[in-house]
Structure 1
Amino acid sequence: MSFTLSLQDLKCHYVNQIPDDTVTRLAWNNAGSPLLLAATSWDKTCRIYKIASAGDMGVHSELGITYRQEAPLLSCCFSNDNLRVFAGGCNQSVSAFDLGSNSTTGMVVGRHDKPISGVHWVPSFNAVLTCGWDGKVALWDGRQQNALWSQVINAKIFASDVKGNLLSVADNMGKIHTWNLDRIRHNEQKLTSNSLLRTQVRALSLFPDTTHHAGVAVSSICGRCAVMWLKPDAMHSNFSFKCHRLDQHKGGGKTTLATCINGLDFHTTYGTFITGANDGTLAIWDKDNRAKVRQFTGVEGSVVSISFQSYNNLVAFATGYDWHMGLDRNLMVTTPKRIGVIRLKEEDIKKSKSTISGRR
């Protein structure tokens, strides 16, 4: 099989009735029937799509319901039982929406002092966890006005993830903060480390194994990722690498453009991770062998969010203007806004002894 595949080869399915503005976050529910994909957007909506198989490696989708808020929504997640979806953003609150009813009105379960950048479900607490630009991380169970637990790191939180008993966030100062959620009630201190990246972190994902080989991968706005282990005896293996870079030929010379890597997510079964950037490509990486497994082209736009549905080997990605050039009304209009879903084969994701070691 070719090392590089196009989305046409993979029968990429593009979702209809997408948001009117750029998607901010994509999130899958737990494996079940129906399989659901949530998308929050700058257009102040959280849309829920039903995803199903369609023939050989194909995918079908339909819009289920749209929840509207008074401000842009930046993040979302499902409860573990798939009965509720949570969304938060620029209205500085997180709301719960009942998927079993026809009501589009949510119930506010938590509040921040600034926009909420991350929303995650924590099964062990049966609660939703939020992270915000006010530097606060907080747990909310919806039964009381105050948070079950909260802590402030005194810096904006731009990226976050929860897996197992771990919470990890990246701030605007280049720091990664990680908590063991099993021990927060005992006031155990968080682990703080440098991201290994010289520029702002855009995306973060914890390793699937949070017990024996805990770690985190992060991506930046300038074509570089870092892989970091959290246990002291494994930190010597930390590394960063260049990726998603474009060669440009001008005036007889060649320059390299480092692109913004907006999406990163791990496959929970195989332990590889996928990245998406505004160079219009996706790539799957093997952190243990420090190698690229596969590259996908033909995205036709800047990737702004990406999410694995590991049980079914599905990848959802969204494209749109990511503001890497600041306020540019032309790019806001002309950059394609799409939500795509592809079904991958095991050989596209799984680590291999013959993995190619190319970086870019």
Structure 2
Amino acid sequence: MLRVEHLFKYYPVTAGLLKRKVADVRAVDGVSFEVGQEETFALAGESGCGKTTVVRSIARLVDPDGGQVLLKTDLLKEYHDAEGWLDLATLPARETKAVRRELQVVFQDPDSSLNPRFTIRNIVGEPLVVHRLGGRREIAERVDELLRLVGLDSSHLNRFPHELSGGQKQRVGIARALALQPKLILADEPVSALDMSIQGQILNLIEDLRDKLGLTMLFIAHDLSVLSHISERMGVMYVGNLVEVGATTALFRKPLHPYSEALLTAIPQPDPKRKVERVILEGQVPSPLNKPSGCPFHPRCPYRQQRCEAEVPELRLLGQDRLVACHFAEELDLRGSLQSDVMGRLGLS
């Protein structure tokens, strides 16, 4: 459904009266992955690693600086390549509106993504009005249907966003994203701004809608416990690069990159009396403005060797379906005993 190949997005840093470019913030630095039909693929990583920039680049909310974003669609066939893919990265800006019918975003913060001057009726119905999909009666019926689909009812139609709870606002955001019956949903940390009790409700809703509507989904999160229950495959990002990609359960059971190992052992233990061994990383996350030489993770890696400081590792295939960017992935013993504890915490076999 979606193929992202060597995606780049840099933000220039300027200085002086003439605003000359002096450096680049390398927010996304050559990311590649694919999402299958009706699959949920997840991107994980610490804040600032480039996950949201990937989403915004795919949706053309920002223009990527390089690479391809290939979408399998029947729209705009005059722009398809020989294999039938539509490259969103090079699609003329005037044509991006048509693609919105197949690709929608659920944003992280419902407070900032919903227009405070609009009623819920206007917010959910706006995509239908913009794309001229029906008259007033048809749009009103569709809005009622969408609200019921996400667990709300007609009593919410004339309310404003400030009159709703955080979970209700995110339900409205999901309803708006589904208004055009898209095939691909980009969910940018849709539960991170919600209370823990509400997160479970919204995740269950997203899973139910995915199965009922046959959606393909790119799900972004920094909480790996969320991804363990919602995604079939996942990729781990670090400072604008993918360091590991594979089936979610397999990656949780045996990570092959040291950064993946550290993220997994950082998942909270719900039992306060149970002591959990963690991998504590030294140092700080490097700035995308000034990445270290060689492997970007090497200043913090407990397994680093001299080669790591000089040579950038390629994202290479190990086994049938695991991609890893580590020179010594085959040789490292990433503390498998810790992983059984992690799987137990998440309720995974």
TM-score normalised over the length of structure 2? 0.28
The structure number with the bigger radius of gyration is 2
TM-score normalised over the length of structure 1? 0.28
Structure with greater strand share of residues: 1
Higher relative contact order (CA 8 A, sep 6+): 2
